[in-house]
Amino acid sequence: MANTAIHVKHKKLILLTIAVTLLVGVIYANFAGPERKIQTRIEHLYSVDDPQFLRSMGLLLGPSIMDGNTATELINGDQIFPAMLKSIRAAKKTVLFETYIYWSGEIGNEFADALSERARAGVKVHVLLDWIGSAKIDDAVIDKMKASGVEVEKFHPLRWYNLGRMNNRTHRKLLIVDGTVGYTGGVGIAPIWTGNGQDPDHWRDSHYRIEGPVVAQMQSVMLDNWAKTTGKVLHGVEYFPSPKPVGVQSAQMFASSPNGGSESMLMMYLLAITAATRTIDLSSAYFVPDDITRDAIIAARKRGVRVRIITPGEHMDAETVRRASRGLWGELLEAGVEMYEYQPTMYHCKVMIVDGKMTSVGSTNFDVRSFRLNDEANLNVYDAGFAARQTEVFEQDLRKARRFTYETWKARPFMAKAQERMWSLLGSLL
């Protein structure tokens, strides 16, 4: 009996060891990127105004920069959702929609009804939802869309063969209608994005409506994930009509994914920050910069660049991220970076404006998760007029934000310092 008991105990120990080993392997696979992390600092060689900057952004890093576009900002749900729904309801051939968050509720039902109506009318409608981000959507909403002919798929659902990719989410927010009109930004489909950012239950966010040749790049970004998820390649004139210029803005749709070029978005941000000679304005919902990005920002300050950063204040959906962020502000504040915390509600914007010439908007947060783990997509617009308008929006937000000084940072209570230090060390896991 004693030998039997020892044998059973030994067997349980082996099984426990295997289980722990598998768990550690899954965690490592999810948080360790497939590529070696960027360690080399980028040297300042030219400014944003230099044609070489555009060549680097379009040839060294990303897709071609395309002329003839028009991008327009939409502020908060009261402007964003009516515009998106109007475009969906006007669709004649195709609708492609990829989003991280899609929850049930009135706005979720309204989108489902609009997409379903177009599918019943013969429009090809494709919806790609992140499996984790859309966890709060009722099956009935999805069933309604599918019954109407909408193709709905989930990105990286829980499967045994997906365990090593569970932390790779599609954080992109892309809507493309008839291959001619596109939308991107920070907004998900949920009640918190409705309204006008008027209180803590209604978030402050921006989305962007785009027309012109760059919409084809937006389409290709969405279709790449659609092909990876379904094995189907969507193409043809219904998806890629002949591009027509509709404005004067130059733009490119920049995308990144751990499955290919996981750090290309980080490289894009670093190159833009390194090229800055006058101003950097950054709106960031989740600002947890690593050593490389902090060094780039500090180097910009040493060149005399004014750097202003708006992050969420007390109204934030992830307090651990806020603490991790604050723990990293010391050397930035000491270098003269202006840090601001937005006061009225959760601040979910993701915008960077450099030297009044380049503006990058989209889904990317300024943290390791966006730079190395998520699938992200940003629209880069190279146009002084667009940058000037986004600077106006930034300064409107600035008036509703409270500045956080170096003196305030040093005077934090001991427990706050300890907690922020702990969370900042775990920044790559947040």
Catalytic site includes residue 350: yes
Catalytic site includes residue 178: yes
pLDDT of residue 31: 45
**pLDDT for 394 beyond 50:** yes
DSSP classification of residue 287: B
Check 130, 178, 205, 367 and give the catalytic one.
178
Query: pLDDT tens digits for 28-69?
Result: 344 444 444 556 678 899 999 999 999 999 988 889 999 999
Check 130, 281, 290, 355 and give the catalytic one.
355
Residues 112, 143 contacting (CB under 8 angstroms): no
Distant-in-sequence, close-in-space partners of 217: CB < 8 Å, separation ≥ 6 = 63, 66, 252, 253
In 3D, which of 219, 29, 18 has the Cα closest to residue 124? 219
Catalytic site includes residue 235: no
Catalytic site includes residue 146: no
Q: Is residue 174 very low, low, confident or very high in pLDDT (cuts 50, 70, 90)?
A: very high
pLDDT of residue 323: 84
Catalytic site includes residue 199: no
Q: Is residue 26 very low, low, confident or very high in pLDDT (cuts 50, 70, 90)?
A: very low
Query: pLDDT tens digits for 74-91?
Result: 999 999 999 999 999 999
Report CA-CA distances (Å) from 18 to 25, 31, 289. 10, 20, 36
**pLDDT for 388 beyond 60:** yes
pTM of the model: 0.89
Phi, psi of 222 (to 5 degrees): -65, -45
Report CA-CA distances (Å) from 27 to 17, 22, 145, 155, 324. 15, 9, 35, 19, 21
- Tell me the domain boundaries of the chain: 1-31, 37-57+252-429, 68-250
pLDDT of residue 232: 93
Distant-in-sequence, close-in-space partners of 341: CB < 8 Å, separation ≥ 6 = 310, 311, 312, 313, 314, 401, 402, 404
pLDDT of residue 159: 60
Which of 89-103, 105-119, 403-417 bottoms out in mean pLDDT, i.e. has the lowest?
403-417
Which of 174-183, 292-301, 358-367, 415-424 bottoms out in mean pLDDT, i.e. has the lowest?
415-424
Q: Is residue 14 very low, low, confident or very high in pLDDT (cuts 50, 70, 90)?
A: very low
Strands 94-99 and 124-130 turn out to be parallel
Catalytic site includes residue 154: no
Give the SS3 label for residue 351.
Answer: strand
Q: Which CATH class is domain 68-250?
A: alpha beta
Check 156, 202, 315, 348 and give the catalytic one.
348
37-57+252-429 under CATH 3.30.870.10, yes or no: yes
37-57+252-429 and 68-250 agree in CATH topology: yes
What is the rounded average pLDDT for all residues in the chain? 88
